[in-house]
Amino acid sequence: MRVTSLVLLAEDVRPNPVWEINAQETGLARTALQIAQESYSEIDVEQYLKKLDIIIKNIKTSLRDETEPEQIIKTINIVLFNELQFKYVQTGELEYLSLNKVLDTKTGNCVGLSILYLSIAEELHLPIYGVSVPEHIFVRYDDGDFRRNIETGYEGMATPDSYYVHMPGKRISQTSIKNGYYLKNLTTNEVIADIYLNRSIIQKEKGNINAALKDINQAIQLHGNDAVAYCNRGVLYEKMNDRERALEDYNKAIALNHDYAPAYYNRGSVYASMEVVDRAIMDYSKALSLDPSSTLSYYNRGIAFKMIGRADLAIEDMSSAISSNPQFAAAYAQRGLAYAESGEPEKALEDFNKALELDPNNTEIYMKRGILHADAQRFDKAIEDITIFIKFTPGNSFAYYIRAKAYRGKGDIERAMEDYNRVLELSPRMAGVYFERGQMQNQLERHEDALADFNASIELFPYNPFAYLHRGNTYKMLGNNKDALRDYLAYLKLNPNAPDAEEVKRAIEDIKNNL
C-alpha cells in the first residue's frame, strides 16, 4: 500500500518499550486463561499453562543461544506456524479468541494468536509487544535498536506501519499516531483490554447486552485511548435506548481517531433516529469520504435524503449501495419507494420485484408493492400482496385499509366492508375510515348504519366538509330534511368554493320550500 512521504508513522514518534513485567503480578497467559474461564468454567488453568510450557520449551530448544532478532522471529514463526501449524481465522467467535481454545484447536483470530505469541515472548523474556490498530492487533519485536512488526494473521509476516494507516474504514489519523493512541507498543493491561473488547462484541451479537457492557467498560478502563472501544460501547448504549451516552461515546471515538469511519456512521444513525437529519447526512457523508465502499453509509444516507424529500438523491445513494452489494434486498426496496415518490411506478415495481426475489421473507416489501399495485388499480395483485402481508402481520390496521380500498376498487363491496370493520376493530378512532365505510353502507342501502358512521366520523374530525355532505344526503334519504339542511349549510361553510356548490344550494332551496 503506497503512502506519501508526508504521512507520519509510528516510527517517527516511537515511545520507549513498555513491556515491564512485575514478578508479583499474574503473567499474561494465566490472566488470559482466567478470563477465558469465565466463559469455559471447566478450564484447568494449570494444565493449559503446562501445554503452553511445552511449546515454549520447544521454541527455546530451537533458539538455543540465538540473539539475532531476525533469527529469533524466524524461529518462533517456524515452530508456531510450520511445525505446530497454528492457523489464523478472520472471525470474532469466542473459541478463536480464548487462549485455551487456541491451544486446543491450534486456530485463532488476531487476538487469540497475538495473546499466544506474547505469552511465549513473556516467558522467554523477549522484547515483543502487542500493537493495536482499529479493529486489529498484532505483535512487534522492539529492543530499541531493532524493530519489526509481526503479523500473526499471516504466519508472522513482517508488515510496515504504513500498511495499517489507510485500511478502508479503519484509517488512522496522523494526530492519533502522534498522540500514541495507535501503532504504539502496548502495556500488558492494554493487551488484556483487547480480550475484553472482542468478548464484548461477541456478547453484543448474542444479545447479552449487560454482559457486553460490563466487558467493554473493563476494556476502556484498561485501555482508555481506543476509539473502537468507545464506538462499540456507543452501539450498546443505542441498544439500551440511551442516545445521549451513545453520542458521547461516538464523539469520544472521533476525538481519539477522527479518521475512523464507523464512528461517523454510528453517530449519523443516532442523529437520524432523533430526526436531526442534516447532521445525520453530514456524518454519513464523512463516513463515505473515509470509506467510499461503505454500503450501509450509502443506504442510510439514502434513507435520510428521502426523509427530507430528496428522492432523487435517495435513488443515487441506493443505486450506489446496490452497486456495492447487488444482493442488498433492502436497498432495492428503499429505491423502489423513492422511485414511487418520484412518479416512476414501473421502476418502483421492478425494484420491489427484485427485493422480493432476493428476500421473499421480507413481508414489508409485499406491503409496499401492494400499495403500488393499488395505486395503479391492479386491484387483484394488490389484494394478493396485502393478503400475504396480513398473514404475517395480522394486527396491522393499515394493511386491512389498503386491501379494503382494493376490494372497493374492484367492486367487491362485501369484502371491502369486512376489511373496513377489521380496521376499526384495530384502530377505532380513524375518522376517515368511518367516512368511507359510511359511503359503502349507503351503497348497500344500509342508511341507518351509514348515518352512524358519518356521525362517528364527524365526532372524531368535525372539519371534513364531505362528511357533512354525505350525512346530509343520508338524512335526506331517511326523510329528515331539517337535519339534511343543517348539514348542507355546514358543507358550504367549510367548502364555499366546492365545484358542486350550486347544486347543493338548489337542494337547500328545495328543502326550505318544502319545510
pLDDT in tens, 257-295: 999 999 999 999 999 999 999 999 999 999 999 999 999
Cα–Cα distance measured from residue 63 to residue 70, given in angstroms and rounded to the nearest whole number? 11
pLDDT tens string 377-433: 999 999 999 999 999 999 999 999 999 999 999 999 999 999 999 999 999 999 999
Cα–Cα distance measured from residue 446 to residue 451, given in angstroms and rounded to the nearest whole number? 9
Domain CATH number, residue 456: 1.25.40.10
pLDDT tens string 15-29: 434 333 333 357 999
In a domain, 92, yes or no: yes
Identify the domain containing residue 498 by its residue range.
429-515
DSSP H or E run through 149? strand 147-151
Question: Which of these three, 144, 165, 186, is where a domain ends?
Answer: 186
User: What are the grid coordinates assigned to 168, written together?
Assistant: 478502508
In a domain, 56, yes or no: yes
In a domain, 446, yes or no: yes
Amino acid letter for position 515: L
In a domain, 491, yes or no: yes
In a domain, 148, yes or no: yes
In a domain, 151, yes or no: yes
Cα–Cα distance measured from residue 192 to residue 190, given in angstroms and rounded to the nearest whole number? 5
Number of domains in the chain: 2
- Total-model pTM: 0.82
In a domain, 1, yes or no: no
pLDDT tens string 138-167: 999 999 999 999 999 999 999 999 999 998
User: What are the grid coordinates assigned to 131, written together?
Assistant: 500493537
Question: Which of these three, 154, 186, 218, is where a domain ends?
Answer: 186
- Please name which of 200, 270, 206 lies closest in space to residue 228, comparing C-alpha atoms: 200
Question: Which of these three, 165, 186, 207, is where a domain ends?
Answer: 186
In a domain, 386, yes or no: no
* 241 vs 515 pLDDT, higher one: 241
Of all residues in the chain, what percent are helix, strand and coil, respectively (each to 5)? Answer: 70, 5, 30
